Amino acid sequence: METMEIESGSFDDFDQYNVEYKGEVLYIESKDWRKSNSLKFQIVVVLCLFTLFGLGDQAVGALIPIFQKHYHVSDLQASFLFLSAITGYILMGLLNGIIHEKIGLRGILIIGTVSLCTGFGVFSTAPPFWVMVVFASFTGTGCGVLDAACNSWVGGLIDSNQILGILHGCYGLGCLISPSLISNLLERKINPWKWNQYYRLLFWLALVMFGVSSFVFRRETAKKYSYVFDLKVGKIGKDGYELSSANDELEEDDLDKFQNASLGDSLKSKLVWTFSLFLFLYVGGEVAFGSWLISYLLRVTKVSYKMSSHIATSFWTGLMVGRTVLGFATAYYFNTELTANLTYAVGSVMGFIVFYAISFTTWHWLFFVIAFVTGVCVGPIFPTTIVSAIGILPTKYHTSGVGFICAFGGGGAAVVPFLVGLVANSSKTGLKLFPLIILLDFLFLGTWWLLITKKFLPTYVRP
């Protein structure tokens, strides 16, 4: 494709053109999916990646009873699978901005999918348990880097609220498929699968996503990332040349906005840590509930493994519906993401209260209903928080800051389930506290978000 001559100008989400920048010809696409076919393909690929996340993440929770039987491990030992994954999540959170600058989005997708292939590939061989714990960090690395990069990328598109909702709905789709699929494959009468064969399937899916994402995002290089950021903050014109005459008149504090925030800058930001810790507890509570739900229903309420798997599927179905449908509700029926998120948090707390109450009855069929409704309320909190962070944080934090928020928040998926396992392993009655732990977690989150809403609502502008 030939390079077009373009005029200097400001950043426009709808522009499509070619430009030579630092010796490389860049293809700049519209950020509106309606105007770009290649962007549509990229969005589809990212949706598939998040579905794969869900298939892998929920597999551990669905297979905990199987792992305990196969390896003869306790709740605490099984929980180390969750804890191992946090190393990858946090590492990618710390390095997200640096990696973007060095290898671009395409390079990040390659690192992420290769890490997933490595983790799933080792799991598929049914290795000794300690090997599984070690290589769980690879799946954590893959999910962490892809989660941070994809959320930052989608957050910068037109209709980000709706697309982020669908994106995280696809994660819920993978999570809802996983428990029922695993139970059906392992318990079918003719040629039942072994648990490691499921990871073989995930390995091949990750390998396909490696090839597809490498091709579809082939133009998303480090220089393109640098160009788009510099253009967005007004450091350069569309022709790629620095606006030196304008910059000479700016004070040092004004020039600061031209610099993409470093990792150190992001870690010094109280706002970045506020959103990071919020999502850490949110994701931890969400994943802990989905991961330990089957074990809780099996051992405390005496529900069968198959029925427990279907109840877990009901929760993840609600989560997928909530993220997909309520993403549009947030955009069209709420004035801001802040008030929408507060509503979803209150609904989540009410759902967990009812779930805990049902645990003391024999009305097991109600678990299907309340798990679904609770999932609907829990689901949209993550993408709505990301959009809120983008709206509140300065532009320079939109890569390193938001990337760290996503990756560090994702680390909660390892720590909180581990802590639940620690409590469950502490005594014979420890697992009975599981619903109460999740309830207290979301009650705290709801109160926290109320404070955030009160502080930023008067000045909040939708991104």
Whose tokens are 């999740």? That residue is 438
Is 301 within the bounds of a domain?
Answer: yes
Element (H, E) at 104: helix 75-123
Q: Are 42 and 216 in contact (CB under 8 A)?
A: yes
- Three-class secondary structure of residue 156 per DSSP: coil
Confidence of residue 5 (pLDDT cuts 50, 70, 90): very low
CA 142 to CA 89: how far, in whole Å? 8
Would you say residue 4 lies in a domain? no
Residue 314 CA to residue 308 CA, distance in Å, equals 10
Q: Are 4 and 18 in contact (CB under 8 A)?
A: yes
Residue at 2 is within a domain: no
Distance of CA 401 to CAs 105, 154, 230, 267, 284, Å?
16, 15, 17, 8, 20
In three-state secondary structure terms, 416 is: helix
Distance of alpha carbon 221 from alpha carbon 234, whole angstroms: 20
Asked if pLDDT for residue 92 goes beyond 50, the answer is yes
**Which pairing describes strands 24-28 and 17-21: parallel, antiparallel, or unpaired?**
antiparallel
- Distance of CA 55 to CAs 58, 155, 174, 335, 369, Å? 6, 23, 4, 34, 23
Beta strands in 342-398 (DSSP E): none
Task: Let me know if residue 3 belongs to a domain.
Answer: no
269 with 397: CB under 8 angstroms? yes
State yes or no: pLDDT of 442 exceeds 60. yes
Instruction: For residue 408, tell me if it sits in a domain.
Output: yes
Residue 187 is assigned to a structural domain of this protein:
yes
Which DSSP helix (H) or strand (E) runs through 27? strand 24-28
* Predicted confidence (pLDDT) at residue 343 exceeds the cutoff of 90: yes
Tell me the H-state helices in 217-269: 222-232, 244-247, 252-255, 263-268
Q: Report pTM.
A: 0.74
SS3 state of residue 3: coil
User: Which of 84-98, 212-226, 235-249, 309-323 is least confident?
Assistant: 235-249
**pLDDT value of position 6:** 40
Report the helix count and the strand count for the chain, using DSSP H and E: 17, 2
If DSSP codes are grouped into helix, strand and coil, which group holds residue 198?
helix
User: Which residues is 19 bridged to in the sheet?
Assistant: 26
Q: pLDDT digits over 146-194, tens only?
A: 887 888 788 778 888 788 888 888 887 888 788 778 888 888 888 888 8
**For the chain, what is the domain count?**
1
Task: List the CATH number of the domain containing 199.
Answer: 1.20.1250.20
Is 8 domain-assigned? no
Mean pLDDT over 4-31 rounds to 64
User: Domain for residue 185, yes or no?
Assistant: yes
Range of the domain at 218: 19-459
